[in-house]
Amino acid sequence: MNKFAKVAAASSLLLLASACGGGSDDGSADGGAPEEMTVWIMGDSQPHIVEYFGEAEAAWQEAHPGSALNVEFIPWPDVQTTLTNALAGGDSPDVIEIGNDQSSNWASQGALVDITETVDAWDEAADLDQNALEFASYEGSVYGVPWYSGVRTLYYRADWLGDLDIEPPTDWESLRDAAERINEEHDVPGFCAPTDFTNGIASFIWSNGGEIAVHDGSAWEGRLTDPATREAIEFYADLSADGDVSPSAALGANENDGCLNDMANGNLGMYIDGSWARGAWEGVAEDPAVLDQIETTVLPGADGMAPAFAGGSNLSVWSTTENPEAAAELLQLLAGKEWGDRFAETAGFFPAYPELLEQDKYTSDPLKAAGAEQMTNTQFFPATPNWNSADQEQKILPKAVLEIAQGGDAEEILAGYNDQLTEILNTPVE
């Protein structure tokens, strides 16, 4: 049976998009896998992703004839509700995509299977990005395998920098200098520094040798008041506050709301975004020719390339699967070098295997080369379920930067938010 291939051939993009799954059949196709394996993927169904899974199903069926893949797409706005319902006993998958910053959250709730032994026995796991693999762990056990990654880089108007006879920025000093000169020459902000942008702000902190928080073995300790962290935050806040350097609309905004439209329409010189930005520009650009003038480079740090947060997703085994061994095998297929690399390329991201970043398809593409290089210098946020509360709910770092950019006392502001950050990160996980 090739259920997926039949669905993939259908014209509707939403035939596979569902917020509830069917689970696995009780019947066994070949003694090693059930007649159907359910996979939940985050986001909307897209033709190229559907095609990928059709091909992956064929590879799965080489080892398990008659075992089909039932792939269901969960729109991002529905993820929290859908997974909560699944955990409460609703329809659920065998294998699931989980945002890498959500892995510890769902692991702490008992939603994911401990796959430490599976990973230890899997040869390809040794070649994965080991920091990303550690980020997929919780309390010493592995609950996910990195599937793909995405990093942010610095996008800039190459024609404007060329006319000014200056190179793309490589550090903070050259970033500010380029931004100021763009403003003088073109009367538009030179660099967009949105305050609701933890990923970007973190790169400034890390590049200066600072940390957001550290774990001493028994507890989390906020580091917003450390000199290196404070210096980076003040530098970024100063960029945000300077209306000639950064758009005033970026105060209190994220990169999508405060920067993207201006970049796509020739009203901005530089900003930080991911490899997915090109598609977003095409949706808002009044003159598509502007987009051909935009190039990208690695993130400029205090002195050289800054680390970037390696966003992306893991593949995990859902705790209620009736076929844990088959689910672990399917996870290894999809997250292995061949199919992991295929998905990364298909989805416009980067593979979770550092050695694969050296392939020509990444290094020779002008818009991918910088990302591939940036992938060699990444860092991760505190690996605790409480990080989501500190960042997404309380927005501790964005609020601190905004208040400082608006003229508040940095020492006092950071001391208060550091206490709040430490308290949240050390809240017992229920």
Per residue in 384-400, pLDDT (tens digit) is: 999 999 999 999 999 99
The total of structural domains in the chain comes to 2
Residue 410 domain boundaries: 152-308+386-425
pLDDT band at 32 (very low <50, low <70, confident <90, very high): confident
Asked whether residue 380 is domain-assigned, the answer is no
Within-domain flag for 29: yes
Helices 227-241 and 396-405, interaxial angle, to 10°?
Answer: 60
Using CA atoms, how far residue 4 sits from 58, 66, 78, 189, 331, in Å, is 9, 12, 23, 49, 17
**In a domain? residue 207:** yes
Boundary (domain end) residue, out of 374, 395, 415: 374
The 10s digit of each residue's pLDDT in 40-53 is 999 989 899 999 99
Identify whether residues 15 and 136 lie together within a single domain.
yes
| Alpha helices by DSSP H, 277-365 | 277-284, 324-335, 337-347, 360-363
Judge if 96 and 220 occupy the same domain.
no
- Same-domain check for residues 394 and 257: yes
Q: Within this chain, do residues 292 and 327 fall inside the same structural domain, yes or no?
A: no
Q: What is the pLDDT at residue 18?
A: 30
Residue 15: pLDDT band by 50, 70, 90 thresholds? very low
- Mark whether 139 and 175 lie in a shared domain: no
Reported as a single tens digit per residue, the pLDDT across 255-274 is: 999 999 999 999 999 999 99
Question: Are 45 and 146 part of one and the same domain?
Answer: yes
**Does residue 216 form part of some domain?**
yes
Whether residue 430 is contained in a domain is answered as no
* Cross-strand pairs, 96: 40, 316
Question: Does residue 233 surpass a pLDDT of 90?
Answer: yes
Distance CA 34, CA 21 (A): 15
- The reply to whether 92 and 77 lie within a common domain is yes
Looking at the structure, tell me whether residues 85 and 69 fall in a common domain. yes
| 90 CB-contact burial (10 Å; exposed 0-12 / middle 13-18 / buried 19+) | middle
Task: Summarize the confidence of residues 353-372 as an average pLDDT.
Answer: 92
Residues 209 and 336 in one domain: no
> Do 256 and 354 have their domain in common?
no
Whether 416 contacts 410, CB under 8 Å = no
In 139-212, at which residue ranges do the beta strands (DSSP E only) sit? 141-142, 145-150, 152-157
Section 133-152 average pLDDT: 95
Residue 73 belongs to a domain:
yes
Whether residue 428 contacts residue 384, with contact meaning beta carbons closer than 8 Å, is answered with no
Q: For 273-279, what is the mean pLDDT?
A: 88
Q: What is the DSSP string of 120-141?
A: HT-GGGGGS-HHHHHHTEETTE
Least confident of 24-33, 214-223, 271-280, 304-313: 24-33
Q: Distance between CA 239 and CA 415 in Å, rounded?
A: 21
Chosen domain end from 333, 354, 374:
374
Q: How far apart are CA 416 and CA 412, in angstroms?
A: 6
How crowded is residue 178: how many other Cβ atoms within 10 Å of its Cβ?
26
**Residue 331: CB partners within 8 Å, gap ≥ 6?**
95, 115, 118, 145, 315, 316, 317
Q: Say if 412 falls within a structural domain.
A: yes
Q: Quick one: 240 and 336 in the same domain?
A: no
The overall average pLDDT reported for the chain is 91
Give the CATH number, domain containing residue 191.
Answer: 3.40.190.10
Q: Please state, in angstroms and rounded to a whole number, the distance separating the CA atoms of residues 421 and 415.
A: 10
57, 58, 62, 68 alpha-carbon torsion, rounded to 10°: 40
The phi and psi torsions of 173 (rounded to 5 degrees) equal -60, -45
| 181 and 143 assigned to the same domain | no
pLDDT at residue number 366: 80
